Structure 1
């Protein structure tokens, strides 16, 4: 079929007499768009949209308005209905035959050859500009021929509408007029916003610098993304002159005029968990109903499998990623549900390995180091662009709703550490820079790793061994100290594990979950239990947590900085996270005691002596349920709660 075009974006479509009317073909393609068959049923139209988007996308918008008129004309209540003029057709090439490396490049690979075609880019929003109003169209009248025609702004020169140099009417060849007057009340305005997206650091090779590009959002696309969002944007690549500032060279820079914006960070949890996988999870826990802790350990073994043992650390990582339930207290203040974890240990204890693996398990993760991070880089920085001040998101804001991993935490300057106090507890960052006074959200899990200052001295408080202040340490729910002490038996087991010549087991998603979990499966499990379960505390769990907190307050003299009300909130969060990990909606006595064991593993806050031992040398036991029964009895005796729990000798939960 041959398509004949007889109109431009500046004039309404007309129906040619010698060929199939392109306007009605566009309406046909537009109606096919709602069934997602445009690319398959109308390949020629799709190819024209891809190769000449600036010509055809305005026609689609006009076809959308005309389709409303056709529908309302035949409907019974058509006279009383109104036509929406501000309608725009949004097209995405993802999953279509047009998706290819040529149409879906990395931001760093965008070149001049990609100009004026329908392009799709994926990245993270790092800067969001203010919403402005620009002129989208202005009509002029020619003084000579009295014709009226529209004039559109020029993007390259800053969206300014200039009077035409010659008559643009149909009689322009005969008229040749050069004097025009604007028609009164003929100007149409559009919403306008500029954002900046940056390619994900996880997709880059070693030594590569993440590139960024400006994106222009108009009309209904403005204000739908914020700094930190992961987006896939389809649009037309063009060029725009940079602002003419003094002593600054004026250059052309690439700009993507967006036609379709898709948020990917909100869709991950829904797309990654099919119904068959949820059924697998339920069958797994039905199989381990009599020995629940054995099932829990089967899940924990999939966390950082390249590191042998370290059961306590893997449990802490799982509880931190799952987190507790956010709630609002009586005064209306929000109490955070995200947990924070700090690993303090000697070199070679696997701290960075856990950080990198935790980043893989989280839907959104930002990796940084203390030496390469400043206060502005962690929070928000104010930048001046085109004479206007804007806020550019830092690591904690980019990780909003996800995980922020900070390695070499001790290398951060004292001033830079103080900036994350508010971000960790109140989960906001208050900004007063360059006349911009606002608050941004940082609902982020902070996972830090640090080395002790010199040789770790168990007799000294944690703040002395790490040079971290007490207020900062109190914000971490779990602080695990990994000491590389001499243990011949442990060294023998670890060396045998590392030197084993067995091939690594490749786990597939369709295999049985009894003994091994794949990386993608455990990601889905963590995402599912976080969104599905909202556990509440039972009376037994409340009694255990309250008694332990009171015992800590009575005995905590050396570590008074950490033994605050925040510890009580941490116990509740960890108990809720363990209930989620155990696939249930109720926090039982088992969850409360497991939370106590995690707090005790920090060694510096031990109110129950010799109950856990070195977290570095903790390993998975063959009968965890039997081992737990002993720990439960020991802890309840220390808390003087044995009489209140007569069934302490049998396994609870």
Structure 2
């Protein structure tokens, strides 16, 4: 009687679920029926918020008992297909598909709360058995395997057939049934129906919580996620994902002198890639209007507006205008394009700060990491080539790849402090990652290529006393090929200038006395850290600047002059330098909120390269980057200076041409 009542309630629930699918997902069901391949696994995405509005009781049942009800939901998808199949009988290849999987999307639903959407480090036993959502970065991606699914047994006495499912706790082994579940039959004699064996695609990945949300000293936690059927191979190492599934546990593999424990595992129901969104940078329409209004106010003095934005970068460091401009241009970057041969030319810029101790290099690194929507900070002393790129690890007898810092920073920023502390071999491994933006791996039989579309921001001390007469390679022990990959290399020399020391010390002491700064107070409030992040994110996605003829002419002339006068830094003055000039000019156009690279942008890019001290000095007006400061009237001063530089470079170019 009890079994009959249970069957009745199951049938009623199946009808409820099938009715919901027909009501809200009729078109998806039709496309599944019309699909030609009956062996494929078909996902059917259901919004949990929609399910709650339509049937709150069913939504609560799925949340509190997902293992039972999600499999029943899959069965109801087959039932729903049968209901609407009558309309498609005459169509060739139309059939009811038995491999449909309901995927629950919790985005925008009440399940996006702390209780059901905790950080990975806060997952506890209380979360076991409910519909749980976790967010993290894929650090390890295992091989796709085939595992045996449910087995169908038949009782030798009453001939009743029933399914037995594999258990994750015992590493997917299927237990032999102990008695017949049929009513009034307690037989213990069974046989397997071999021709009905079912197999599934199976993959294990490991996700790790973001280090940006953790406090100092906290170790980022990770958890294994099991993907099945249509979910396998949908993500790779370095992807940001949100996984919804059921938390369970499995026995850790047997190892000598290691205690066998239950490891937490999330069996995924739905995986959402966040690479397109990258991070929670929400830019409301009113904020975009503020950006437009800001540039409207500074229409007649655009460089003053630019300087107001730059003042918001690392405000605790006084002056250093050139460095702040370089940081902004590096984070914004240029436009990636594909050349005639089909090769991708990177849009991301790289920045290297070389300076004496106490010049604020680490401060800029940390602030840049806060500005980027995805960042990884590491030091050269604590990094190996495997830690920076990718390492091969053995898990349960199987080799798999685990992502390093550059792969985890894909689409963001990788900050490497104490760059000179890295071993020569470890520095050489990032050559490909910086220029081609990929990492080619051939380890333990794993041959693959991983994506590293990341900005590299390095900081290093010079080797002993910096000698301006020597090349940068000699002063830093960095190789020429590595230096040539950095778009801007700024050298911050502490030359003990008494006037500069007096200005800096008075600024620091006045800040210590009163926390509030009185200079450009309103502008500082406008360009807070949050607004700067939003601004950089917006201009990177909204603008794709194109070079004007004047900009092309001045960049080309400057590059040719550098090629002719290059003596000490021949490794730097390659085609990479021309690409760097274009990237920096495009980044400055984006910073100035426009889609056109003007002469002003091109000359700003030239001045950044000149400040690098890695090229032959053509413009004499560029001084030490450490002592560069914000001017009161940048538009008047700079425009006159830019006109002079423009004419000076073109004059030099014409003189060289005449001489030839």
Is the TM value for this pair above 0.5?
yes
Cα distance, 1:576–1:98 mapped onto 2, change above 3 Å: closer
Which one has a larger percent helix, Structure 1 or Structure 2? 2
Q: Which residue of 1 aligns with 2:192?
A: 181
Cα distance, 1:614–1:242 mapped onto 2, change above 3 Å: same
- Tell me the secondary structure at the aligned position of residue 381 of structure 1: strand
Question: Are the aligned partners of 1:72 and 1:79 in contact in 2 as well (CA < 8 Å)?
Answer: no
CA drift at 1:490: 2.2
Query: Is residue 432 of structure 1 aligned with residue 432 of structure 2?
Result: no
| TM-score, structure 2 as length reference | 0.88
Match of 1:23 among 14, 17, 30: 14
The within-5 A match list for 1:576-587 is 576-587=586-597
Q: Which residue of 2 aligns with 1:38?
A: 51
In 2: Cα distance, 1:639 partner to 1:278 partner: 38
Q: Structure 2: any 5+ residue segments left out of the alignment?
A: 25-45, 655-660
Q: Which residue of 1 aligns with 2:204?
A: 194
- Tell me the secondary structure at the aligned position of residue 415 of structure 1: helix
Match of 1:61 among 40, 58, 74: 74
Cα distance, 1:512–1:219 mapped onto 2, change above 3 Å: farther
- Tell me the secondary structure at the aligned position of residue 245 of structure 2: strand
CA drift at 1:553: 1.8
Q: Which residue of 2 aligns with 1:649?
A: none
In 2: Cα distance, 1:643 partner to 1:355 partner: 38
CA drift at 1:67: 2.9
Q: Which residue of 1 aligns with 2:507?
A: 497
Q: Which residue of 1 aligns with 2:333?
A: 323
Match of 1:302 among 290, 298, 312: 312
In 2: Cα distance, 1:39 partner to 1:520 partner: 34
Q: Which residue of 1 aligns with 2:39?
A: none
Cα distance, 1:35–1:48 mapped onto 2, change above 3 Å: closer
The within-5 A match list for 1:123-202 is 123-168=136-181, 170-171=182-183, 173-184=184-195, 186-202=196-212
Cα distance, 1:370–1:61 mapped onto 2, change above 3 Å: same
The within-5 A match list for 1:418-429 is 418-429=428-439
- Tell me the secondary structure at the aligned position of residue 476 of structure 1: coil
Query: Which whole-Å deviations, capped at 9, do the CAs of 1:73-105 have from their partners, x for residues lacking one?
Result: 5xx446645434332222344554444433233
RMSD after superposition = 2.8
Question: Are the aligned partners of 1:556 and 1:607 in contact in 2 as well (CA < 8 Å)?
Answer: no
| TM-score, structure 1 as length reference | 0.89
Match of 1:264 among 268, 271, 274: 274
Query: Is residue 603 of structure 1 aligned with residue 613 of structure 2?
Result: yes
Cα distance, 1:410–1:283 mapped onto 2, change above 3 Å: same
CA drift at 1:469: 1.0
The within-5 A match list for 1:314-393 is 314-393=324-403
Question: Are the aligned partners of 2:47 and 2:104 in contact in 1 as well (CA < 8 Å)?
Answer: no
Moved more, 218-227 or 365-374: 218-227
Cα distance, 1:390–1:35 mapped onto 2, change above 3 Å: closer
Query: Is residue 622 of structure 1 aligned with residue 632 of structure 2?
Result: yes
In 2: Cα distance, 1:5 partner to 1:596 partner: 83
- Tell me the secondary structure at the aligned position of residue 640 of structure 1: helix
Question: Are the aligned partners of 1:144 and 1:175 in contact in 2 as well (CA < 8 Å)?
Answer: no
Query: Which whole-Å deviations, capped at 9, do the CAs of 1:585-634 have from their partners, x for residues lacking one?
Result: 22121111000000111134242253221111111112111122232233
In 1: Cα distance, 2:453 partner to 2:135 partner: 23
In 1: Cα distance, 2:615 partner to 2:508 partner: 33
CA drift at 1:420: 0.5
Match of 1:89 among 95, 102, 116: 102
Report the count of equivalent residues. Answer: 626
Q: Which residue of 1 aligns with 2:65?
A: 52
